[in-house]
Amino acid sequence: MTAVPEVFQELRCRCNATTRDSDDVVIERDYSLFGLLYLIWGGTSTPTSVSFRCPKCAHIFEVTDAESDRITYRA
């Protein structure tokens, strides 16, 4: 099995303006039904996946379900 090259960890959007580390990146979180209910009840829920969208071109340039990312970006 080949390791993912480091460069793929820092993807850019179509207009090349946004990475996941950009200040204006739009982070969208997907939750399981249980996670969503837990959020509504005021808990902190870890999303099942996290998407990164560019606010300029609206392109989702990265979707991750890595546990470390899901914990980093939980609401």
Stretch that binds Zn ion, among 1-9, 25-33, 46-54, 62-70 (CB under 5 A): 46-54
Q: Which residue is nearest to Zn ion (CB)?
A: 54
Q: Give the C-alpha separation, 12 to 16, whole Å.
A: 6
Query: Near Zn ion by CB under 5 A, which window of 29-37, 38-46, 51-59, 65-73?
Result: 51-59
56, 60, 66, 75: which one contacts Zn ion (CB under 5 A)? Answer: 56
Asked whether position 13 contacts Zn ion by CB under 5 A, the answer is yes
Sheet containing 60-64: which strands, arranged edge to edge? Answer: 26-30, 49-53, 60-64
Q: What is the 3-state secondary structure (H, E, C) of 21-69?
A: CCCCCEEEEECCHHHHHHHHCCCCCCCCEEEEECCCCCCEEEEECCHHH
For Zn ion, the binding residues in 23-42 under the rule CB under 5 A are none
* Residues at the interface with Zn ion (CB under 5 A): 13, 15, 17-18, 54, 56-57
